[in-house]
Amino acid sequence: MTSKTVVNRYLSTLALFIACLSVQGQPADFPPPPESTERAPGVVAGESIDFELNDSEVFPGTQRMIGVYVPRAYDGQTPACVAVFQDKLQFNFDTVFDNLISTGEMPVTIGVIVPPGKIPGTIEPGWRHNRTFEYDSPGDRYATFILEEVLPAVEKQTTSDGRPIRLSSSGNDRMIGGGSSGAAAAFNAAWARPEEFSRVFSAIGSYTGLRGSYAYPTLIHKTEPKPLRLFLQSGTNDMWTAFGDWWSANNAMVRALAFADYDFEYEFGEGKHSPSHGTALFPRAMRYLWKDWPQPVQPGMKSRNHLLKQTLWPNVRWTQLPGDFPGATLVRADEVGNIFVSTPQGIVRCDENGKSLAKMGDGVFRTVDSDKTSWLRTQGDGTVERVSPDGKTVREILARDLPVQALVESRSGDVYAAASGKLWLLRAGHEPQVVDEGPVNIGGLAITGDGNWLAAFEADTTRGFSYALQPDGKLEYKQTFYVLHKADADDSAEVRDAAAETSKFGYVYVATDLGVQICDANGRSGAIVPLPDGVAAVSLCFGGRDFKTLYVLGVDGHLYSRPAKNSGAAPFRPAVKIEARAG
């Protein structure tokens, strides 16, 4: 056998091998099911309406054409459910809707198509395309655009036979879906506003590094489950670019959703970055997403997050307490668990159920002293004072002209205050003493439940510092120890307060824009507990009976509460040994 023959046979074998690989690597065919390709006998097509939306305030300067699909089953009287889609009419959703509505497998649903906006330049033919900015950016901006601008504009339309468009305002009646970045937009909106969008369809979702959606698997692991139902699709041949691996990213999403006990289904095939598989699955996805409607979608109760399991009862969520405290800055509890809310009009004492009982003077209520005989109050002129329990008698001045941003007292009676970019030690009979000049803008201070460590969180970063408390009041062994999460659109976690619990876990709770973040004894934010409607947290404390109720003041001026498994730390409560492991 000649060398040429050997080479030819080798090349033939190699070509056959490559051909086999090519066949195996080709995406499978995904023929759409019958309910996706044609309407059943007797099912009449609906009507499509298009209109321009060029006056957005959320995305100023953008131009786009909104599409609306109105099924024939819509009567013009009963508000319809809503399904928002990005980009264009895809997944043959109009035909699928008509068929499934006719069989009662989904409610009467009006489809709304929201293509990305574009902005004209002053020099032709330049355009700025907004697709990735609008779709791939986490946060509530896109949801706000849909809720406050798109849907109200849709309701101004009428069908050709005069039926007005009336849309349900219930989040349980709203679905949002899309493909690629449109899927990321759908998840962004539902994650930011789960009370407004309860059902999500995601095909070949861009949970990658296009912008910030790559963070969702981590956030899903850490965040208390939200009332969402989801259907996800991707494929082994999905995109793999400088921005990330779509296949791996969707797998990470599925793993995270399973970890957090979400109501979801998924199917992954061998397809490329194409809508074909999503289109084939769309009827099945709609049956799943709308099953049991109008029963509301429920949040998962069995998240595997150990911080959530060790701190909160999953079947009891936030209660909004009575009263309204606009502009309030701080909530604290006294030694019997009554709640004090500091407002611009003064300090209001409330019972454990949030009912206002009495006004307790001006200033800001900081804490009851370690000996329970007085409490600490700060005034607008920078005075830090100990006052009688009724707030009427000033017993001692600890500092003057000190613009306190945060304050905490140890069990030994040492008072630590953050002011003017410094940490101060305040002791009776002594001048205020600077104990650290490092943290620039402290938003929250807390002393851990064992009394050993001072946690100081910067307001305008995602950092928190840990200090070892010394018998002489000094601070030692400072480390940039804590790390928090932030909203994608923000430059910081927006810390406004902190508190600690007395348990073997050593957890510290931080009031942030994302809600309450719970940090473990090793400094990691391991749980995020949003407030209702995504309200930012302003202040928090433990109070009520046995100090096992968590109270949080929202930026909306409302007070929220929920029972906790562990009691809160305070200078007048005993210390508990922390048994955390290094990890």
Q: What is the domain-level CATH number for residue 330?
A: 2.120.10.30
Residues 251 and 321 in one domain: no
Q: What is the pLDDT of residue 146?
A: 98
Phi, psi angle pair for 231, to nearest 5°: -130, 125
Q: What is the pLDDT of residue 28?
A: 55
Token look-up 């199917």 returns 267
Distance CA 456, CA 203 (A): 43
Asked if residue 183 lies in contact with residue 205, where contact means CB atoms within 8 angstroms, the answer is: yes
Closest CA to 139 of 190, 199, 175, 176: 190
Task: Reduce the DSSP state of residue 344 to 3 states and report it.
Answer: coil
Cis check for the bond before 107: say yes or no (omega within 30 of 0). no
pTM to 2 decimal places: 0.93
Residues 277 and 322 in one domain: no
Asked if residue 506 lies in contact with residue 578, where contact means CB atoms within 8 angstroms, the answer is: yes
Record the tokens describing residue 412, joined without a space.
């030994």
| Distances in whole angstroms, Cα of residue 147 to Cα of each of 60, 68, 70, 141 | 16, 15, 19, 10
Range of the structural domain that residue 208 is part of = 26-289
Record the tokens describing residue 75, joined without a space.
């009567």
> Residue-wise over 394-413: b if at least 16 C-beta within 10 A, else e?
eeeebbeebebbbbbbbbee
Residues 430 and 347 in one domain: yes
Q: Which residue, of 289, 321, 340, is where some domain finishes?
A: 289
Residues 139 and 269 in one domain: yes
Question: What CATH number is given to the structural domain containing 33?
Answer: 3.40.50.1820
Q: Which residue, of 289, 319, 342, is where some domain finishes?
A: 289
Distance CA 464, CA 458 (A): 6
Instruction: Provide the residue type at 57 as one letter.
Output: E
User: Cβ–Cβ contacts within 10 Å for residue 95, how many?
Assistant: 22
| Distances in whole angstroms, Cα of residue 354 to Cα of each of 33, 284, 396 | 56, 47, 30
User: Does residue 186 form part of some domain?
Assistant: yes
Residues 280 and 368 in one domain: no
Q: Report pLDDT digits (tens) over 76-125.
A: 999 999 999 999 999 999 999 999 999 999 999 999 999 999 999 988 77
User: Does residue 296 form part of some domain?
Assistant: no
Report which secondary-structure segment, H or E, holds 17: helix 3-25
Spatial neighbors of 464 by CB under 8 A, at least 6 apart, are: 455, 456, 457, 458, 480, 481, 482, 483, 484, 495, 498, 510, 519, 523
User: Does residue 161 form part of some domain?
Assistant: yes
User: Does residue 549 form part of some domain?
Assistant: yes
Residues 262 and 327 in one domain: no
Residues 98 and 228 in one domain: yes
User: Does residue 11 form part of some domain?
Assistant: no
Residues 201 and 256 in one domain: yes
Residues 322 and 269 in one domain: no
Domain count, the chain: 2
Q: What is the pLDDT of residue 581?
A: 77
Asked if residue 171 lies in contact with residue 194, where contact means CB atoms within 8 angstroms, the answer is: yes
Q: What is the pLDDT of residue 352?
A: 87
User: Does residue 16 form part of some domain?
Assistant: no
Q: What is the pLDDT of residue 490?
A: 85
Q: Judging by DSSP bridges, how do beta strands 525-529 and 537-543 pair with one another? A: unpaired
What are the residue ranges in the chain where pLDDT is below 50? Answer: 1-27
User: Does residue 52 form part of some domain?
Assistant: yes
Record the tokens describing residue 583, joined without a space.
């990890």
Helices (H), 231-275: 246-259
Residues 387 and 243 in one domain: no
Instruction: Provide the residue type at 203 as one letter.
Output: A
Residues 373 and 495 in one domain: yes
Q: What is the pLDDT of residue 488?
A: 87
User: Does residue 485 form part of some domain?
Assistant: yes
Residues 255 and 319 in one domain: no
Asked if residue 145 lies in contact with residue 171, where contact means CB atoms within 8 angstroms, the answer is: no
Distance CA 175, CA 171 (A): 8
- Positive or negative: CA dihedral 480, 485, 489, 492: negative
